[in-house]
A = this chain, B = another copy of it.
Amino acid sequence: MAGYPPGSGSGYGYGAPPPSAYPAPPAYGSPFAALVPSAFPPGTDPSLVSCFQLADQDGSGFIDDMELQRSLSSYNQTFSLRTIHLLMYLFTNTNTRKIGPKEFTSVFYSLQNWRGIFEKYDSDRSGKIDASELREALLSLGFSVSPVVLELLVSKYDKSSGMNKAIEYDNFIECCLTVKGLTEKFKEKDIAYSGSATFTYEAFMLIVLPFLVA
């Protein structure tokens, strides 16, 4: 099996992530840990605050999966509940399916960023990007994947049955979330940044299962 340690001449392996506004993940523990209530970061666009407050009908400080789905669709970002669950998992690091102001803001600005990247690489405005454009898009997000991983991603996230493999916006987001999430989980275990990581069976199952069908 070929290994591609970061910084090796092969050019594969994961790259350094771009500077990020995401909070550091909480210490590893039960995936059902409670969410800490949060506030909007200073300077958040007031319309985003209103949007969250409109969705948070009971004023609990949290919105659920259906509420997040509706909120994002009002910004023309339409996703399946599966993608919404993956977003909630990765931005809260829990399986509680509730999201507060701080995480909502991170989700919103990340999606804006990813939409910009998608549109940059979808130069013919077809609403789809192909394998080599996906590779470039992931690179610009700081993730460098090998040709075999790229082929697997395209075969997973191309939901059309056309001859020319291509990925639509919502599947692109799910693909980005998956690559980002799995890479971050791997790097948490690769403390020496060696390109290899050791997992107990328990940790392996707890890391992988949340990415499966939600």
Contacts and interface: CB of A to CB of B under 8 A. Distances in A.
Given A152-B95, A208-B208, A4 B213 contact: no
Contacts of A202: 1-4, 12-13, 146, 148-149
A191 interface: no
A113 interface: no
A213 B174 contact: yes
Given A149-B206, A205-B182, A206-B149, A156 B200 contact: no
Interface residues of A, number: 50
Given A31-B152, A152-B95, A202-B12, A212 B209 contact: no
A197 interface: yes
A201 B30 CA distance: 24
Nearest to A152: B209
B199 A199 contact: yes
Contacts of A5: 200
A22 interface: no
A183 interface: yes
A209 B3 contact: no
Contacts of A149: 202, 205-206, 209
A211 B208 contact: yes
A82 interface: yes
Contacts of A198: 196-199
Interface of A: 1-6, 12-14, 28-32, 82, 95, 145-146, 148-149, 151-153, 155-156, 174, 178, 182-183, 186, 190, 195-206, 208-214
